[in-house]
Structure formats: C-alpha cells, structure tokens
C-alpha cells in the first residue's frame, strides 16, 4: 500500500469535510450522534427493553389499577383517564432520568473523557444524552398505553397524538431535572439511589396518580417545585380541553404551565450541565 498517497489523501478528504460543516451544523451533528448512541445502546440491551415494558405493568396495572378499584369513587371525573395521563408522563420522567444515570456509568468507564475532549458544547452533549434516554421512555409509554387498553382505558386519536407531540418537551424537562440531580454525583450506586428515589417522590407529589388540588403546607410547596406537576397539568389541559371535567383535573392556566415548564427546564439544564462539567474538570 502506498502510505504517502493514502494517508495524505485521507487527511485532505477529512479537511474538506470539516470545512463543509458550519459550527451550528457540527453542534447539531454531535447531538444527533449522541442521541443515536443512546438509541443504539438501548437496542443492544434486550433486558433494558423488556424492563421498560414490564414497568408499565407494575406502575399502571398494579398501583394504578388498585387505586382505581378501591379509592377512585366519587371523584367527579374519569379516574382511569386521569391515571393513564399521569402514568404516561411519569414513565417519560422516570425512564428518561434512569437513562441519564448512564452518564455516571460513562464516568466510571472513562467514556465521558472521550465526549468531553470533543470540540462541542457541553449542552450538545447533555441534550443529546437526554434525548437518547428519551427513546427508552417513549418505548415504555407505548407499554403504558397497551396496559391502559387492557384495563379498558383509552385516549382518542387526537388526544394520543397531542400526548406524543408533547413527549419530547416532557423528556427534555425530565432530563434537565435529572441533570440537576446527577450533576455532581460521581458514584454510580449513589446515582442509582437518587434516580429511583426522587422521581418516585415526584410521582406522588406532582399528582400523577393522586389528585393534589387540596394539598397544603410543605407538600404544596414541594409539588410546585416539581417540574412534573406542570408537565402533567399541561398534558391534562390538552387532553381534557372542552370536556366537562377540565376544571376538576387541570390546576393552572396552560400559558402559566408552559412558562413554568420552559423556565424550570432552562434553569435546571443550565445548572445541571454546569455542575456536571465542573465536576469533570474541577478536582
């Protein structure tokens, strides 16, 4: 093989490709690459995929089903639909956060070094990782819908499309919240505990399966700090728009909810990314 020609030829080709890609395109390409890695890792782990389909059975059928059968009488609205939306959003949050714990695993295998020496923004890396984790979350959403169908709880085609259209925003909000949690945790065991405990607490505080219209005191304050409270409320506002039960299940004006989601997501993403990047380089 003629090394001189081939190596130089390769370098020239690389330089030409480099020149064609603008900075914005490079950031987008890096984000897409990291998302694709997340999807690929999920597809290569059948056990993870199976677990993401078993989760809805536990959460929706066992927890939700029991609440529905024993405690949902006299609420004044369709509890089944209330719970289905709660579980869909809860799945997006839990599974996205769980996927993010892969960042801590990457730290342990030193793979974060490989990402952090790349000439791309830390935000591209974090947003790519969040959206890569969202793939598994969306798989478990389909599992939740299937369990809902089995339980006789359905959404209309328009309502379903609305939920799916909002799901990337929900995943981003969940990922930003997860980054805030994981930003400065270096130990995988501690990260796994945090990533299970906090979303679990959030499920009860934000009204995924239990209405929180009458919460007060510290529980009220905590519910208002949780981004999932606003995500749930927005999805319920969209799904229940124009129905008689709208006032019974929706807490805030959708404009306020949207502003709260965007504000909290931007804040948590900025602080979480800063904490994560800082813990990598400041020792």
Residues near other proteins, by CB under 8 A: 1, 3-4, 6-8, 10-11, 13-15, 17-18, 21, 25-26, 29-30, 32-34, 36-37, 40-41, 44-45, 106, 109-111, 113-121, 280-283
Closest CA to 225 of 199, 206, 207: 206
Six token digits for residue 70: 């024993």
Q: How far is the CB of 20 from other proteins (least distance, A)?
A: 9
Q: How far is the CB of 137 from other proteins (least distance, A)?
A: 19
Q: How far is the CB of 75 from other proteins (least distance, A)?
A: 45
Q: Are 237 and 162 in contact (CB under 8 A)?
A: no
Q: How far is the CB of 178 from other proteins (least distance, A)?
A: 20
Q: How far is the CB of 182 from other proteins (least distance, A)?
A: 19
Closest CA to 55 of 192, 147, 159, 150: 147
Nearer to other proteins, 33 or 215 (CB): 33
Q: Are 115 and 106 in contact (CB under 8 A)?
A: yes
Cβ neighbours of residue 126 closer than 8 Å, sequence gap 6 or more: 175, 179, 269, 272, 273, 276
Q: Are 26 and 123 in contact (CB under 8 A)?
A: no
Q: How far is the CB of 111 from other proteins (least distance, A)?
A: 5
Six token digits for residue 40: 């690929």
Nearer to other proteins, 40 or 241 (CB): 40
Nearer to other proteins, 19 or 189 (CB): 19
Six token digits for residue 241: 């728009």
Nearer to other proteins, 12 or 243 (CB): 12
Closest CA to 123 of 24, 17, 242: 24
Nearer to other proteins, 122 or 224 (CB): 122
End-to-end CA distance of the chain: 46
Nearer to other proteins, 28 or 72 (CB): 28
């Amino acid at each position: 093989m003629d090394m001189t020609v081939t190596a130089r030829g390769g370098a020239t080709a690389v330089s030409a490709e480099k020149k064609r890609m603008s900075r914005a395109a490079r950031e987008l390409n890096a984000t897409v690459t990291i998302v694709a890695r997340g999807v690929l890792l999920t597809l290569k782990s059948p056990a993870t995929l199976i677990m993401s389909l078993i989760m809805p059975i536990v959460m929706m059928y066992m927890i939700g089903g029991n609440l529905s059968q024993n405690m949902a009488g006299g609420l004044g609205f369709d509890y089944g639909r209330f719970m289905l939306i709660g579980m869909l959003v809860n799945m997006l949050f839990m599974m996205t956060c769980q996927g993010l714990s892969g960042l801590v695993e990457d730290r342990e295998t030193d793979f974060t070094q490989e990402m952090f020496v790349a000439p791309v923004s830390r935000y591209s890396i974090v947003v790519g990782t969040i959206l890569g984790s969202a793939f598994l979350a969306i798989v478990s959403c389909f599992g939740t819908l299937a369990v809902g169908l089995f339980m006789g709880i359905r959404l209309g085609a328009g309502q379903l499309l609305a939920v799916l259209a909002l799901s990337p925003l929900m995943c981003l909000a969940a990922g930003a919240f997860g980054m805030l949690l994981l930003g400065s945790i270096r130990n995988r065991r501690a990260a796994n505990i945090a990533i299970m405990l906090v979303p679990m607490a959030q499920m009860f505080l934000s009204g995924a399966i239990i209405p929180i219209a009458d919460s007060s005191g510290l529980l009220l304050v905590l519910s208002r700090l949780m981004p999932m409270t606003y995500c749930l409320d927005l999805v319920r506002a969209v799904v229940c728009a124009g129905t008689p039960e709208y006032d019974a299940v929706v807490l805030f004006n959708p404009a306020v909810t949207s502003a709260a989601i965007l504000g909290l997501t931007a804040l948590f993403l900025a602080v979480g990314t800063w904490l994560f990047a800082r813990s990598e380089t400041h020792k």
